[in-house]
Structure 1
Amino acid sequence: MPLTHRLATMADEPRLSALMTRAIEHLQSAYLTPDQVAASHAFMGLDSRLIADGTYFVIQDAGDIAGCGGWSRRATAYGGNHSAGRDDRLLDPATEAAKVRAMYTHPDHVRKGVGTLILSLCEAAARAEGFAALELSGTMAGVPLYRSFGFEGVRPFEDSGVPMLLMCKVI
């Protein structure tokens, strides 16, 4: 059955949070130490602002939530509701890149096109709002997907001892 998508609602939050926890625990462990996986929970997770803004997608496979992710017209680069350094300032599409945010795939649904669908939806929506570029803060687990979708590495950085890569794509 083909993947379907819809905008996330606040009612989805408990299931999305559970999916995110499972994805962090299972998919990051191939790239991070156990301590780094544990530290990831301090800054990764659900950002309800994305749902409220109507920019967060749920990907379904035969009715099951296979993944989630979205984009933002706001300055916060990454992180969940509990993360430090959030910035709700609206970005200027003429001079700033839209942010791809909070992409997670359920471990049972990896390599089925979930991430590619999310990136395609984000790119189309950001372009429709006048953005000319996308930017994301990629985990090491996500970098291969982002590169295959045309993102280029800008600079590596760390949060809580977890390696990340700032990436950008002109759209």
Structure 2
Amino acid sequence: MADEPILRLATPADRPALEALLERSVRDLSRDYYSPRQIDASLKAIFGIDGMLIADGTYFTVMVGDHYAACGGWSRRRTLFGGDQAAGRSADLLDPAIDAAKIRAFFVDPAFARRGIASLMMRASEQAALAEGFRSLELMATLPGVPLYRALGFTDTGTHEERLTDGHIIPFVPMRKPIG
């Protein structure tokens, strides 16, 4: 059926559509949590597609018909959050015996929000991380994402304020979940 969500791995060819989806998601779903200035600044400095996730085969997209409904995934690398443009990234590999796999860059098109699509991507990410030997997951949640991640079994592990070079401060919530 055309309206059933179809999860698949993202490819480099998907990137322009995923970047547009990401911007729609951040601008619409974050507006009750972050100011317009914070949203603009975060789109420039933090939020973006991480090409390494696509290259690693750990980043998904969900299609509903011919619409990109969502994107998100997981990582076996040290970087916890941020697109290719974000500062402080690390391509170092994690050790599944001691490190948590990273849940990365979940964005849902506002037209498809609250339909279980993020949960679908999370199940796929958990299964893939578990298959590689990881026993826990961690993520850096945006404020609008916190309720979803709590509902999916993640617990807050603190708070984090990302200070951008332009002076903006973007609050996040680090979260963790055991798997397996």
Shorter chain as normaliser: what TM range? over 0.9
Choose from 12, 24, 49 the match for 1:22: 24
User: Which residue is equivalent to 1:68?
Assistant: 71
Q: Displacement of 1:122 after TM fit? A: 0.5
Task: Flag structure 1 segments of 5+ consecutive residues without an equivalent.
Answer: none
- 1:13 aligned to 2:21? no
Offset from partner CA, 1:85-136 (integer Å, 9 cap, x none): 0000000000000000000000100011111111111100000000000000
Q: Displacement of 1:63 after TM fit? A: 2.5
User: Which residue is equivalent to 2:170?
Assistant: 162
Choose from 113, 116, 121 the match for 1:113: 116
Q: Displacement of 1:38 after TM fit? A: 1.5
Task: Flag structure 2 segments of 5+ consecutive residues without an equivalent.
Answer: none
Give, as a single letter, the amino acid of the residue that structure 2 aligns with 1:18: A
Moved over 3 A (4+): none
CA distance in 1 between partners of 2:16 and 2:52 (Å) = 15
TM-score using structure 1 length: 0.98
Q: Displacement of 1:36 after TM fit? A: 1.4
TM-score using structure 2 length: 0.93
CA distance in 2 between partners of 1:43 and 1:111 (Å) = 24
Give, as a single letter, the amino acid of the residue that structure 1 aligns with 2:177: K
- 1:83 aligned to 2:86? yes
Give, as a single letter, the amino acid of the residue that structure 2 aligns with 1:55: T
Q: Displacement of 1:2 after TM fit? A: 2.0
Number of residue pairs matched by the alignment: 171
1:71 match: secondary structure: strand
Cα RMSD (Å) = 0.7
- After TM superposition, the structure 1 stretch with the greater mean CA deviation from structure 2, 144-153 or 59-68, is 59-68
- 1:45 aligned to 2:45? no
